[in-house]
Structure 1
Amino acid sequence: MRARTAIVCSVADQGVTALTNILVLVAAARLSTVADFARFSAVYLVFTVLLGASGAYTGQPLVLRRGEDDGTRSACRSAVAFTLLAATALGAPAAAVCLFVPGDTARALTALGLVLPIVLGQDAMRYAFSTLRLPHLALICDVLRLAGVLGALAVQPYGAGAARLVAVWGLSALPALLLSAVLLHRRTAGAPLKVRPLFRRGHLGRRFAVEFGVGNATSQLSVLGLGAVGNPLVVGALRGATTLFGPLNVLYTSATSFGPPLLGRLGSRRRQVRAAAGLGAVLAATAALWATGLALLPDAAGRELLGDTWPAAAALLPATGSQYAAMAVGTCGLLALRMLDPRTTLSIQVVFSLAAVAFLAVGYALGGITGAAWGLCLGSVCKAVATWTRVALLRGGEAVGQAELSASAVRAGS
């Protein structure tokens, strides 16, 4: 596939995925009371953490592979098989345990455990298609996923419980999973299945999973913690605000997950870094425009989007919009570091993600839910500055190294 066509298909696929993500939460908000949406948001947040961890462990190392040989096809098959096995091994016991725990949230977690192999397996195949440079196949399957989830949620009655919504959302991904499996099998048939390397100590996914754990997952789980020890409605309010930025959130995740194969087509490291910086500027401007548009929405339109959760979410738009603009810059900085040296991002993720959790807690103590949102924003700003500082240092080191090598060659020639 030509590079331009591949880029268009990949961007379109991320857009479809982003649209699916936001429409799921919008539909849940409109079908639920404030309390039910808070429960659904908490469970969906757990899924988001598991999805990110799965992508970090199997997907992100996969897309860093080069070439389209038997080794790459084998790696794609192995990554999908590992994801299905791991999701089943985690989801089935979790569902069994939660089945005996009282409460609506526990029932929703039971439903999540049962559908976990479906939703994680379908996402793993997106990474495989990206690695094989077949983004048009991922786009086809994700369009089917979007149609399935919208059709399934559209027939649900108002007041449907969180467990029912989770089950319907998960099962609606089954047609896309089956289609993805058929298409992937046709491209990888005959390639050996090697799951054992994914368990080895040197697997790069372990480092990426730790980065995700102290990065995205830490801040999201800290929100759940605030809901547990403070006001439970804080989860619904913060998730409602981030739901409005759902397309951007998926695009940011996709930049580090699916960006390397596309930037790899540009050749030189300098062009790759410049492209990452340009993408960061575009995404930051998009976040600012998106936040401005949401702030100008009348209350009636906002309630059409989030129902009773809209007033609490609308109050957080300035802080959340600023956070997403900073996240755009930081995410593309991480993308540049993945191309320069993928082992350099862990320290940044550890230090500044923990700092963001501290900012979140202090902000909540000083200013409630609004203060917590501004704390998350401050953490994203600090991480973005640190990330691009590391990029500049690495590029400077490369320039010095090249200059020393050139000077040595001149001396040797003379």
Structure 2
Amino acid sequence: MEPHGDRRADRVEAEGESVLGVRAAVVCSGADQGVAALTNILVLVVAARLSTAEGFAAFSVVYTVFTVLLGLSASYVGQALVLVRGGTAEVRGACRNALIFTATVSTVVGAVMAVGLAALPGGTARGLTVLGLVLPVVLTQDSMRYCFATLRLPHYALAVDVVRLTAVLPALAAQSNSANPARLVAAWGLSALPALLTGAMLLAPRLRGLRAKPRQLLRRDHLGRRFAVEFTVGNALSQLAIIGLGLIASQLVVGALRGAITLFGPMNVLFNAATAFGPPILRRAPTAARQARATAILAVVLAGVAGTWTVLLIALPERAGRQLLGETWSSSVALLPATGSQYTAMAAGTCALLTLRLLRPRATLPIQVVFSLLSVAFLLTGYALGGVIGAAWGLCLGSALKACAAWTRIAFVRRETRSPAPQRVASMSGDDHP
């Protein structure tokens, strides 16, 4: 028998879902991603405007490291969480475990970073030291978004992200011009505290009284392991390769690439949202065919948005560009055609991988491994042949080939599932289950 508090939380949650409905949930999820996208791009734009080219290059290295850690956290904890099935108590228990696990692990990792890098000289090392100190705040706050998605409460995720946006901009704007990277990282990280507290208050009625079992996330069959590997080979490798270019060439290369990527911040958030929050919504489609059709339409829409955004950025006047990125604009503007083409290809690839995750989750890992390694090879080869512009076109080529491979794999999976015999074999092998 469930405690009285659990029954009350179940009733509150059920009422919230009935009020929202499917269309309202989609609208809230879209609005939430829009707010998150705006926050992401404004943080980097403000940091670029407050920094010198060298300072923004150092900040970019720190932010890239954070992006890798955030992606690992989202993959291991968040993406596995949104696929949890079961009763209300089981789902809410999984959310509580995810939050405790994220807070604990991020605290340990952040402490190691802060202690290990505190004695090293340079702006990048100091920025990474501060990142270690604020890491538990920013990662735990982000994991709450996945909890709200899992509990089908996207309007709460939207509210928390609005708090995040309204707190971070004044915090960064209060910093002086030419502020060092460590100071900017501190202001950005600590400004997540109001959103963290807001999320905690909204989640408390639903998670209070549940027994915590965060060690469940360390089980061998935890889906997060597979998703973390996919992220490592699918995204983190290219991010780390960019950092490597900064070590062997110049940090200004990192700043130029990061500046161009910054301008496509909204697309990054939309891609991440499709991967992380798409499954709970797409699962409401009654058949696999409709799910695949929906993701194909989403791919076309996202590719169109990426192409339109690229044209607008290329047409941006020099003065307006410098208002966005400061001194970094001059080195980033030449990369816009290549980076825009890459994001158009990424739109198709992201939706293809989302389709495979719904139809056959285990089919995504081989594609990620092979074509992500190729992307890193193209990045390095492109830089050797054509400098930073060649590196950007190398990343574009890798993303385009990955998208082609993923949609080809979907065609084979759809053909197999339409045949009765292969469908029975797939079901017995477990390939059609996450």
TM-score (norm 2): 0.92
Matched, 1:304 2:323: yes
For residue 201 of structure 1, report the CA deviation from its aligned partner. Answer: 1.0
Q: Distance in 1 between matches of 2:64 and 2:233?
A: 16
Aligned to 2:356: 337
Matched, 1:22 2:41: yes
For residue 68 of structure 1, report the CA deviation from its aligned partner. Answer: 5.1
Does 335-344 or 366-375 show the bigger shift? 335-344
Q: Please, which of 370, 378, 386 is the counterpart of residue 367 of structure 1?
A: 386
Q: Please, which of 49, 61, 71 is the counterpart of residue 80 of structure 2?
A: 61
Unaligned runs of 5+ in 1: 406-414
Matched, 1:121 2:140: yes
For residue 402 of structure 1, report the CA deviation from its aligned partner. Answer: 7.2
Aligned to 1:130: 149
Aligned to 1:227: 246
Q: Distance in 1 between matches of 2:31 and 2:291?
A: 21
Aligned to 1:409: none
Q: Distance in 2 between matches of 1:308 and 1:373?
A: 19
Cα pair 2:417 2:423 within 8 Å, conserved: no
For residue 401 of structure 1, report the CA deviation from its aligned partner. Answer: 2.2
For residue 232 of structure 1, report the CA deviation from its aligned partner. Answer: 2.2
For residue 254 of structure 1, report the CA deviation from its aligned partner. Answer: 1.1
Cα pair 2:234 2:368 within 8 Å, conserved: yes
Q: Rate the CA distance shift 1:68–1:141 in 2: closer, same or farther, 3 A.
A: farther
Q: Distance in 2 between matches of 1:380 and 1:166?
A: 30
Q: Please, which of 51, 54, 65 is the counterpart of residue 70 of structure 2?
A: 51
Q: Kindly tell me the number of residue pairs found equivalent between the two proteins.
A: 405
For residue 114 of structure 1, report the CA deviation from its aligned partner. Answer: 0.2
Aligned to 1:295: 314
Aligned to 2:293: 274
Aligned to 1:398: 417
Classify the secondary structure of the residue corresponding to 1:267. Answer: coil
For residue 223 of structure 1, report the CA deviation from its aligned partner. Answer: 0.4
What letter matches 1:6 in structure 2?
A: A
What letter matches 1:168 in structure 2?
A: A
Aligned to 1:240: 259
For residue 67 of structure 1, report the CA deviation from its aligned partner. Answer: 4.9
Aligned to 1:412: none
What letter matches 1:246 in structure 2?
A: G
Classify the secondary structure of the residue corresponding to 2:247. Answer: helix
Q: Rate the CA distance shift 1:68–1:29 in 2: closer, same or farther, 3 A.
A: farther
Classify the secondary structure of the residue corresponding to 1:291. Answer: helix
Q: Distance in 2 between matches of 1:404 and 1:255?
A: 27
What letter matches 1:186 in structure 2?
A: P
Q: Please, which of 389, 392, 398 is the counterpart of residue 379 of structure 1?
A: 398
What letter matches 1:238 in structure 2?
A: L
Q: Please, which of 205, 211, 216 is the counterpart of residue 230 of structure 2?
A: 211
Matched, 1:347 2:347: no
For residue 154 of structure 1, report the CA deviation from its aligned partner. Answer: 1.2
**Matches for 1:251-262 after TM superposition, within 5 Å:** 251-262=270-281
Aligned to 1:90: 109
Identity of aligned residues (%): 62
Deviations 1:172-224 (A, max 9, x none): 00010011011111122222211111011111100100010011100010001
Cα pair 1:68 1:132 within 8 Å, conserved: no
For residue 403 of structure 1, report the CA deviation from its aligned partner. Answer: 9.6
Q: Distance in 1 between matches of 2:85 and 2:280?
A: 8
Q: Distance in 1 between matches of 2:363 and 2:211?
A: 32
Q: Distance in 2 between matches of 1:178 and 1:279?
A: 34
For residue 267 of structure 1, report the CA deviation from its aligned partner. Answer: 2.0
Classify the secondary structure of the residue corresponding to 2:305. Answer: helix
Deviations 1:110-130 (A, max 9, x none): 100000000000000000000
Aligned to 1:263: 282
Deviations 1:115-149 (A, max 9, x none): 00000000000000000000000000000000000
Unaligned runs of 5+ in 2: 1-16, 425-434
What letter matches 1:307 in structure 2?
A: G
Aligned to 2:216: 197
| Two-structure CA RMSD over aligned residues (Å) | 1.1
Deviations 1:211-243 (A, max 9, x none): 100111000100010110013211000000000
Q: Distance in 2 between matches of 1:365 and 1:147?
A: 43
Runs (4+) of structure 1 exceeding 4 A deviation are 402-405
Classify the secondary structure of the residue corresponding to 1:101. Answer: coil
Q: Distance in 2 between matches of 1:67 and 1:15?
A: 30
Does 251-260 or 163-172 show the bigger shift? 251-260
Q: Distance in 1 between matches of 2:251 and 2:141?
A: 32
Cα pair 2:335 2:392 within 8 Å, conserved: yes
